[in-house]
């Protein structure tokens, strides 16, 4: 598999999830969690926590973890002091560094492609995560508010932004009120703002998967929660599997609004039940679904409360394997509602994760140099959940290949949303 394709897979997985439907920041009558939106003001109130961002970074394999932690905590300390929302800055950094996994981060601690004016460009190198945060804050403040004057808490850190004068000269001082306003200035990628908002939702809104499990005839279910479309949970037996399942653990009973999944390959999900449980003993099937194009998000909007979500596969057509779930996601009820499918994900993935830039900078890492292209799955979850379940899934009776029931069940495939 060529490296560019792998990069696209990674980009797809990370870009696709958090696309919201609809307009401005809502006040949800249903009580859904407000999503980050491209229209959010950069000086909006603090959202999320440094601890949550640190968990996300660690879970998805961020490099130089101690500097990531220093970076995140310094952003959360400093940004509110100058009236900026640290969560948006963290989301931008997570986007630009591919969850702190690019070589620009690992080799230079460059938190946002600052001064990277072309692909493969040399980069200024920050000494540690704290300096990286201070340099990022100076550059971000310049865009959001204006020049950093004497007396500003950021003033001592101006020298940590190697592109300060260039950005001033380019006319970028104080030009960005909202995330949308960064598009065409910080980066030319027309989807830059939705991607930042999406990454914010991914980090701070999406339910964390604190444990996983799977039938003994299948690979580790953590492969379906590693932010990589190149890896997938799938059966691994040499004989035809009768059935198989994997489950994820939210750590406690939580409100659920949307469940999404992404197939790495199509054809191994002739009959997939999505089920929920509070105790992993009694399961409620919320829908039956079938095959869908590879690397296009599928999902179901379904309001419930549960701790566990299971993806249970039967094999009515005697397929050689089952599953091939590249990623699964569980979201709380959100306002606006999350898009359950995103058929344009593949096209979106054509754009590099970081996009290309205007005169200020070009943040895109060269595809061949991104460590995400060969990213390995994140380590086993350390939450409450058990990470392996040696169960043979046999309780599901096989359906004859021509069963009329199968056709009916396929109608359960969710419509594009
Ligand atoms: Ca995966």
pLDDT at 342: 63
Residue 417 has pLDDT above 70, yes or no: no
Per-residue pLDDT averaged across 18-36, rounded?
Answer: 56
What percent of the chain has pLDDT above 90?
71
Q: Residue 83 Cα, ligand 1 centroid: separation in angstroms?
A: 37
SS3 state at 234: strand
Q: Is residue 125 part of a domain?
A: yes
pLDDT score recorded for residue 341: 77
How far is Cα 74 from Cα 89, in angstroms, rounded to an integer? 11
Residue 65 lies in a domain: yes
Same domain, 184 and 221: no
Please give the distance, rounded to the nearest whole angstrom, from the Cα atom of residue 213 to the centre of ligand 1: 15
Banded pLDDT at 120 (limits 50, 70, 90): confident
Residues with CB under 5 A from ligand 1 (ion): 226, 228, 231, 326
Share of the chain above pLDDT 70, in %: 75
Asked whether residue 299 is assigned to any structural domain, the reply reads yes
One domain, residues 234 and 366: yes
259-302 tens-digit pLDDT: 999 999 999 999 999 999 999 999 999 999 999 999 999 999 99
5 CA from centroid of ligand 1 (Å): 14
Number of domains, the chain:
2
Task: State the pLDDT at residue 286.
Answer: 97
For residues 185 and 257, membership in a common domain is answered with no
**Is 1 within the bounds of a domain?**
no
Cβ–Cβ < 8 Å for 342, 16: yes
165 and 224 part of one domain: no
Residue 188 pLDDT > 90:
no
pLDDT band at 118 (very low <50, low <70, confident <90, very high): confident
Give yes or no for residue 133 having a pLDDT over 60. Answer: yes
pLDDT given for residue 192 in this prediction: 95
Model confidence band, residue 30 (pLDDT cutoffs 50, 70, 90): low
Band (pLDDT 50/70/90 cuts) for residue 31 is confident
CATH no. for residue 176? 1.10.530.10
- Residue 340's pLDDT band (cuts 50, 70, 90): confident
Mean pLDDT of all residues in 155-168: 97
Supply the pLDDT for residue 116: 87
Average pLDDT over residues 84-88: 98
Residues 177 and 290 reside in one and the same domain: no
CATH of the domain at 261: 2.60.120.260
d(CA 294, CA 356): 27
What's this model's pTM, rounded to 2 decimal places? Answer: 0.78
- Distance of CA 229 from the midpoint of ligand 1 (Å): 5
Q: Do 61 and 145 belong to one domain?
A: yes
pLDDT band (50, 70, 90) for residue 410: very low
CA of 295 to the centre of ligand 1 (A): 11
For 73, other C-beta atoms within 10 Å of its C-beta total: 18
The alpha carbon of 79 and the centre of ligand 1 are apart by a number of angstroms equal to: 33
- pLDDT: which is higher, 189 or 411: 189
Structure letter (DSSP) for residue 35: P
> Do the beta carbons of residue 188 and residue 363 sit within 8 Å?
no
Q: Say if CB 338 and CB 15 are below 8 A apart.
A: no
Phi, psi at residue 240, to the nearest 5°? -65, 130
pLDDT mean over 149-175? 97
pLDDT exceeds cutoff 60 at 72:
yes
**Whether residue 185 sits in one domain with residue 59:** yes
Question: How would residue 1 be classed by pLDDT, with cut points 50, 70 and 90?
Answer: very low
Same domain, 266 and 127: no
Shared domain for 190 and 220, answered yes or no, is: no
Q: What is the DSSP letter of 26?
A: P
Give 262 Cα–ligand 1 centroid separation in angstroms.
9
Average pLDDT over residues 171-192: 95
Say if residue 246's pLDDT is above 50: yes
Distance CA 99, CA 281 (A): 35
**Per-residue pLDDT tens digits for 224-245:** 999 989 999 999 999 999 999 9
Higher-confidence position of 391 and 315: 315
Tell me the CA distances in angstroms from 326 to 51, 102, 246, one per residue in order. 27, 21, 12
Domain annotation covers residue 395: no
Mean pLDDT of 177-182: 98
CA distance 257 to 132: 36
The whole domain housing 27 covers 8-205+400-414
Q: Are residues 24 and 46 in the same domain?
A: yes
* Ligand 1: centre distance to CA 268 (Å): 16
> In this model, does residue 130 exceed pLDDT 50?
yes
Within-domain flag for 266:
yes
In a domain, 368, yes or no: yes
Is 25 a domain residue? yes
Same domain, 188 and 225: no
Query: Across-strand partners of 218?
Result: 235
Examine the domain organization and report whether 105 and 173 are in the same domain.
Answer: yes
- The H-or-E segment that residue 155 falls in is none
How far does residue 9's CA lie from ligand 1's centre (Å)?
A: 9
């Amino acid at each position: 598999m060529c490296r560019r394709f792998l990069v696209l897979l990674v980009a797809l997985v990370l870009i696709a999830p958090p696309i919201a439907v609809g307009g401005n920041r809502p006040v949800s009558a249903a009580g859904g969690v407000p999503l980050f939106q491209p229209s959010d003001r950069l000086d909006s109130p603090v959202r999320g926590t440094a601890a949550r961002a640190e968990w996300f970074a660690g879970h998805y394999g961020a490099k130089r973890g101690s500097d990531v932690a220093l970076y995140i905590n310094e952003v959360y300390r400093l940004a509110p002091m100058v009236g900026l929302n640290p969560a948006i800055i963290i989301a931008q950094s997570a986007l630009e560094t591919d969850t702190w996994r690019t070589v620009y981060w690992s080799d230079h601690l460059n938190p946002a492609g600052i001064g990277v004016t072309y692909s493969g460009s040399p980069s200024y190198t920050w000494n540690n995560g704290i300096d990286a945060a201070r340099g990022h804050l100076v550059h971000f403040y310049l865009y959001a508010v204006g020049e950093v004057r004497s007396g500003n808490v950021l003033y001592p850190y101006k020298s940590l932004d190697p592109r300060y004068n260039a950005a001033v000269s380019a006319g970028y001082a104080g030009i960005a009120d909202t995330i949308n306003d960064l598009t065409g200035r910080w980066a030319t990628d027309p989807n830059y703002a939705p991607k930042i908002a999406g990454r914010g939702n991914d980090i701070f809104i999406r339910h964390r998967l604190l444990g996983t499990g799977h039938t003994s005839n299948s690979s580790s279910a953590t492969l379906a929660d590693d932010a990589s479309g190149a890896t997938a949970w799938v059966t691994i037996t040499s004989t035809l599997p009768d059935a198989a399942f994997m489950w994820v653990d939210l750590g406690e009973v939580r409100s659920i609004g949307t469940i999404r999944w992404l197939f790495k390959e199509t054809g191994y999900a002739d009959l997939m039940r999505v089920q929920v449980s509070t105790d992993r003993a009694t399961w409620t099937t919320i829908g039956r679904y079938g095959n869908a194009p590879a690397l296009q998000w599928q999902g179901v909007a379904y309001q419930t409360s549960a701790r566990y979500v299971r993806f249970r596969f039967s094999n009515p057509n005697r397929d050689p394997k089952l599953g091939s779930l590249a990623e699964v996601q569980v979201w709380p009820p959100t306002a606006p509602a999350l898009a359950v499918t995103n058929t344009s994900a593949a096209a979106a993935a054509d754009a590099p994760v970081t996009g290309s830039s205007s005169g200020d900078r070009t943040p895109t890492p060269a595809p061949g140099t991104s460590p995400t292209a060969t990213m390995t799955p994140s380590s086993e979850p350390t939450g409450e959940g058990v990470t392996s379940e040696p169960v043979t899934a046999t309780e599901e009776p096989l359906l004859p290949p021509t069963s009329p029931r199968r056709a009916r069940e396929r109608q359960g495939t969710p419509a594009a949303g």
